A and B are shown apart, each in its own frame.
Chain A
Amino acid sequence: MAAVYPLIFAALLFSVGVYGLLSRRHAVLVLMSIELMLAAVTVNLVTFWAIAGDALLTGQVFALFVMAIGAAEIGVGLAIIMLIYRNRASVNIDDADLMKY
């Protein structure tokens, strides 16, 4: 079954994203890692659509939605990072710890 390859690929991609999310300190890299995870989800959507063979192209449509949301999220995320940088002269997320007790 050829569908297993894209699924394995998506899982690897997600794992790379998770690793990046947890290990990077640079806010932009963290944001990019989140984009990797979203990409993995997109791949999964397309793969499962291909398996199910849905006539309404639901998987494809959702893939497009996820891309749009990813773009919007990058917009918002970069804006936040910009503001943090202006305030603190740093984009290291360890410095953005205002929310602790």
Chain B
Amino acid sequence: MSSVAWLIPALPAASAVVIVALGRKMPVGGAEIGILSLATAFVLSLVLAVEVFGANVAATTSGVGEAFLHTARVELAPIGAGDSIFAGIRIDGLTVMMFLLVTFVSLMVHVYSLGYLHGDERFTWYYAVLSFFSAAMLLLVVSDNLMLLLVGWELVGVSSFLLIGFWWELKANSDAAIKAFLTTKLGDVGLVVGVVALWGQFGTFDIAAITAMVGDGVQAGGAPLDTGMLSFALIAFVLGVVGKSAQFPLHTWLPDAMAGPTPVSALIHAATMVTAGVFLVARLYPLYSAAPAAQATLAVIGAITLLMAGLLALVQEDIKKVLAYSTVSQLGYMVAALAFSYTAGIFHLFTHGFFKALLFLGAGSIIHAAHSNNLRDMGGLAKVMPTTFATFLVGTLALMAVPPLAGFWSKDEILVEAAAAGGYTGSLVLVVGALGGALTVLYMTRVLYLTFAGSFRGEGHPHESPRSMTGPLVALAVPAALIGLVNLPVEAFQPYAFSAWTMFSLEYWQTHPIAFEPAIAAVAVGLALAGFLAGWALYRALPLGDDDPARRLGPVSTVLAEKYYLDRLWTDLVTRTIVRDTAAPAAVTLNDEVIDRAVAGAGRATVATGRRVYDDVDQRGIDGVLHGLATSTWWSGARLRLSQSGNVQLYAGAMLTGVVVLAIVFAVGEVS
């Protein structure tokens, strides 16, 4: 099965091409091709999961063997120094987990969009880009070397740009797309630096080879491992993670990216693209565990992000922006978790992908009914939209980490691992994580009250969304509720659990068991309960606008409303003052005064040389020779033709003279 695993990214890629070529002529505008290809990819992923997870479970139960790993590659281009760029696939537990998440959520989004984008004039194009995005994301997770991973990473960025700016007729939307693209690109600089640094240190792009070398404590040429250099590369990677996974301080693009269609937000900005950074850290986890400095960076950035974004979610009036900041906050949990534990980080990634996609699709359903993103225009929707309400509630409870829903298990694991790690970073993540849990409950309680309680404040008569939209909601509610159970922290279950499925090495699995701490769980649940009570007390009366308690905190409210002035930092200081007022004029001056002149000078010199060559070499030299030849031929012809007098007797005389001369010559020759 793993030999045809390349089909999983190839199918959506092919479907994107087919949709562009034939989509308009299809009965459903190409959507059926996208859905079919994603459904096939999902089934293939399931089959692959059975094989890979089964192999891993066999290893953990028996205690022998190694984590499943299948790689295959074809050479693309030799790059000297004995190395080449390969197109290679790597199938292991992490890849298959991402396959399951991406193909399932993408399939749900494909189906859901049938209703959400029904009648849109660029319906076919939407499906083509959606499939293209899925292919890019699957390529990113399946690649076995950093170079191909970088390609997938950038393709994901491009398709995200296309989808955020899908309704580009509104300037705000295309601005948001450009902002998202450029902000993540800033982080990608770090990623490229990291890839090059790792190549310089290990002489290869191959992840398995680099991991093996780090495991042996060596680098290229067998020299002992330079941990400082490795930390440098890994912290450069963290910059890429900060950009792609919307971590502090580059998270500002994600809330703006809500300008895209809501199903796109569910797919890209909840379940898949923003998890690419987390995935990257998980993929390179053996490297990170060899570089404590890089791990500490992860923990600090994650902790700052999860608290900061949780606070911001409290003051948003746009339901999608609440979810966006919530996503940033949850991504902070994942990044911080990866500082301590591989399993905790990717388990939260896995569960969050399901319940956050559910929440976004639920928000899309609400927006579809209320014709507004704004919480002011909602209210009382629980009665008219029962399916949406029920599924949204499931997603919210999962996000709030209410036991036994998905979010509880994964978030609890993060706190336990942070506590077990101890030290400054462990304590920081434990405290901030627990507080963040209370914040999560608070802002989600607010959303629930403002959306579903009371009476409808908007215009028109909201009604439940079509089947194609509620169907995916129900289908996502099931994993959102139950998926946490696959990693139950019970010792006897561990060899069969998620931690075993996705392990990258048997030794790591054996030395890092998943634990359950009743005390930490109790504190977390207690804080969540406190958050809920606070939410009930504050938002029961449905405060809006200036009544909102988060807006009555004086300077604190201003700071939150200004999003910690980070947008001002990037937009006003960096973009306007530094780039527009300083760097750009300098660049213009440099361009006009130096580069343009050099280019113009080179141009003039070339023209002058050309003129000289034309005049002297071509006209005088070469033409002169040819003219001379012609003239001399003409001159000699004019002389020679005088002999052609037409006088026959002259000819006869000449002939006779010739004969006489020849006769004399022969006679002399005969005599001598």
Binding site for B on A (CB under 8 A): 18, 21-23, 30, 93-94, 96-101
Contact = CB atoms under 8 A, between A and B. Distances in A.
Interface of B: 641, 644-649, 652-653, 656
B652 A97 contact: no
B646 A98 contact: yes
Contact of B647 (A21, A23, A97): A97
Name, among A21, A22, A93, A101, the residue most crowded by chain B CB atoms within 10 Å (CB to CB): A101
27 contacts: A18-B656, A21-B649, A21-B652, A22-B649, A22-B652, A22-B653, A22-B656, A23-B649, A30-B649, A93-B648, A93-B649, A94-B647, A96-B646, A96-B648, A97-B645, A97-B646, A97-B647, A98-B646, A99-B644, A99-B646, A100-B644, A100-B645, A100-B646, A100-B647, A101-B641, A101-B644, A101-B646
Given A18-B656, A96-B646, A101-B641, 15 more contacts: A21-B649, A22-B649, A22-B652, A22-B653, A22-B656, A23-B649, A93-B648, A97-B645, A97-B646, A98-B646, A99-B646, A100-B646, A100-B647, A101-B644, A101-B646
Contacts of B647: 94, 97, 100
For the complex of A and B, 5 pairs with smallest distance between CB atoms = A100-B646, A97-B646, A101-B641, A101-B644, A99-B646
A100 B652 CA distance: 15
A99 B360 CA distance: 106
Contacts of A18: 656
Contacts of A98: 646
A94 B656 CA distance: 19
A96 B647 CA distance: 8
A23 B647 CA distance: 12
Name, among A18, A98, A100, the residue most crowded by chain B CB atoms within 10 Å (CB to CB): A100
A100 B648 CA distance: 10
A97 B648 CA distance: 8
Contacts of A96: 646, 648
Contacts of B645: 97, 100
A81 to B, nearest CB: 12
Nearest to A95: B646
Contacts of A22: 649, 652-653, 656
Nearest to A21: B652
Contacts of B648: 93, 96
Contacts of A30: 649
Contacts of B644: 99-101
Nearest to A94: B647
B648 to A, nearest CB: 6
A73 to B, nearest CB: 15
Contacts of B649: 21-23, 30, 93
A97 B134 CA distance: 97
A87 B509 CA distance: 124
A25 B648 CA distance: 10
B650 to A, nearest CB: 9
A33 to B, nearest CB: 10
A97 B649 CA distance: 11
B172 to A, nearest CB: 91
Contacts of A99: 644, 646
A29 B656 CA distance: 18
Nearest to A98: B646
Name, among B641, B644, B645, B649, the residue most crowded by chain A CB atoms within 10 Å (CB to CB): B649
Contacts of A21: 649, 652
A96 B646 CA distance: 8
A37 B652 CA distance: 13
Contacts of A97: 645-647
B524 to A, nearest CB: 119
Nearest to B645: A100
Nearest to B651: A99
A22 B647 CA distance: 11
Name, among B645, B646, B653, the residue most crowded by chain A CB atoms within 10 Å (CB to CB): B646
A98 B641 CA distance: 14
B656 to A, nearest CB: 6
A94 B648 CA distance: 8
Nearest to B649: A22
